[in-house]
């Protein structure tokens, strides 16, 4: 079920922006997201539940209802549900193969068995019922969806985030890029794509040709524009790098020269790395 605060049920559901209950709330608190490191097989999400309606708490104590969490990823065609009986110390384990894109976390309180004679003074009087019944699987409480970036170690470098596409409308030597998605896209001609693919070991050439320009644009979006930042993975990567290299600085709006300086630092001075690649190519030529 997708979160919909306005969906009408024939029984009260505790949720935000809805008046089924005149007071009370249910929420999930994310406490830690442990991303996949190099030698890990799983990522871990640690969380707790917060509920302040006594009568629903009593149902939890009687084991008549349970917390339910659903993880969903449209791009990976992954959807799995998890059940919990306690409010604190909960963990979900996720295979690293699924940690490529955003995961959507849904949370509910669900009836384990049929429940009859439920009463609660916090329920809106407009229901005109003193008691309510819930069938097995009925939702008693529902929280808003939460987006989670659970990132595989493989995607912690910008070069691993970038995707390269073939564009039949581009001539050899021409290229364009798009950074509106989680993973930046570079488009080149068919022939150029094959050349780059065969020589992908020369990463410094790639970085100097494409990434310096792209990272400059990324920095401009994050630092120089007033628009609100989306939760794109590449933006989080850039912000992590800025925090790493400039932990005590408020960078504010930057001119081109300062952006270029920061860009080179984030990319670990790609021109210096290019020297090594050029020497390798020179030695191969004899």
- Cβ-contact 68, 47 below 8 angstroms: no
Contact criterion met (CB below 8 Å) for 161 and 237:
yes
Helices (H), the chain: 54-61, 158-161, 190-198, 203-206, 212-219, 233-245, 256-266, 270-285
Beta bridge partners of 267: none
Cα separation, 161 vs 155, in Å, equals 5
pLDDT at position 37 is 62
CB-based burial label for 19 (10 Å; 0-12, 13-18, 19+): exposed
Strand partners of residue 185: 163, 178
Tens of pLDDT, residues 142-190:
998 888 766 555 555 677 678 889 999 999 889 999 998 877 899 999 9
Q: How far is CA 41 from CA 38, 72, 226, in A?
A: 9, 19, 39
CA distance 60 to 50: 12
Q: CA torsion angle for 179, 100, 149, 146 (degrees, to 10)?
A: 100
**Average per-residue pLDDT in the chain?**
83
Mention the CATH class of domain 26-152.
mainly beta
Strands 185-188 and 163-166: parallel
The domain limits of the chain are: 26-152, 157-285
Instruction: Tell me what pLDDT residue 21 has.
Output: 93
Query: What's the pLDDT at 36?
Result: 55
- Non-local (6+) Cβ contacts of 151 within 8 A are 35, 36, 99, 233
Q: Is the pTM of this model over 0.85?
A: no
Which residue, chain included where needed, has tokens 């707790």?
A: 48
Pairing of strands 132-134, 90-95: unpaired
DSSP for residue 96: G
Tens place of pLDDT for every residue, the chain, 286 residues? 554 555 667 899 999 888 899 999 999 998 877 665 666 777 788 899 999 999 999 999 999 999 999 988 877 778 899 999 999 999 988 877 766 667 888 999 999 999 999 999 999 988 888 899 999 999 999 998 888 766 555 555 677 678 889 999 999 889 999 998 877 899 999 998 888 888 777 777 777 888 888 988 888 888 776 655 556 778 878 887 888 888 766 676 777 788 888 888 888 888 887 887 777 777 777 6
User: What confidence score (pLDDT) does residue 168 get?
Assistant: 93
pLDDT of residue 1: 52
State the pLDDT at residue 3.
47
Task: List the one residue out of 52, 35, 34 whose CA is nearest residue 120.
Answer: 52
């Amino acid at each position: 079920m997708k979160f919909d605060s306005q969906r009408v049920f024939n029984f009260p559901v505790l949720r935000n922006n809805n008046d089924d209950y005149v007071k009370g709330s249910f929420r999930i608190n994310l406490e830690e997201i442990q991303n996949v490191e190099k030698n890990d097989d799983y990522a871990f999400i640690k969380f707790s539940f917060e509920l302040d309606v006594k009568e629903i708490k009593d149902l939890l104590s009687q084991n008549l209802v349970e917390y339910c969490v659903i993880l969903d990823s449209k791009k990976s065609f992954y959807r799995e549900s998890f059940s919990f009986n306690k409010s604190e110390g909960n963990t979900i384990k996720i295979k690293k193969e699924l940690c490529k894109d955003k995961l959507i976390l849904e949370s509910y309180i669900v009836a384990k068995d049929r429940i009859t004679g439920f009463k609660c003074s916090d329920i809106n009087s407009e229901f005109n019922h003193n008691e309510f019944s819930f069938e097995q699987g009925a939702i008693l409480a529902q929280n808003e969806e939460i987006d989670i970036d659970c990132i595989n170690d493989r995607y912690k470098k910008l070069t691993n985030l970038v995707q390269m596409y073939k564009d039949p409308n581009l001539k050899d030597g021409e290229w364009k890029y798009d950074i509106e998605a989680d993973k930046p896209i570079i488009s080149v001609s068919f022939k150029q794509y094959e050349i780059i693919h065969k020589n992908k070991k020369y990463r410094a050439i790639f970085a100097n040709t494409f990434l310096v320009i792209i990272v400059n644009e990324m920095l401009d979006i994050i630092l120089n524009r007033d628009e609100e930042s989306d939760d794109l993975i590449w933006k989080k990567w850039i912000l992590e790098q800025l925090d790493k290299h400039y932990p005590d600085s408020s960078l504010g709006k930057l001119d081109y020269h300062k952006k270029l300086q920061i860009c080179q630092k984030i990319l670990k001075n790609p021109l210096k790395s290019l020297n090594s690649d050029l020497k390798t190519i020179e030695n191969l030529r004899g």
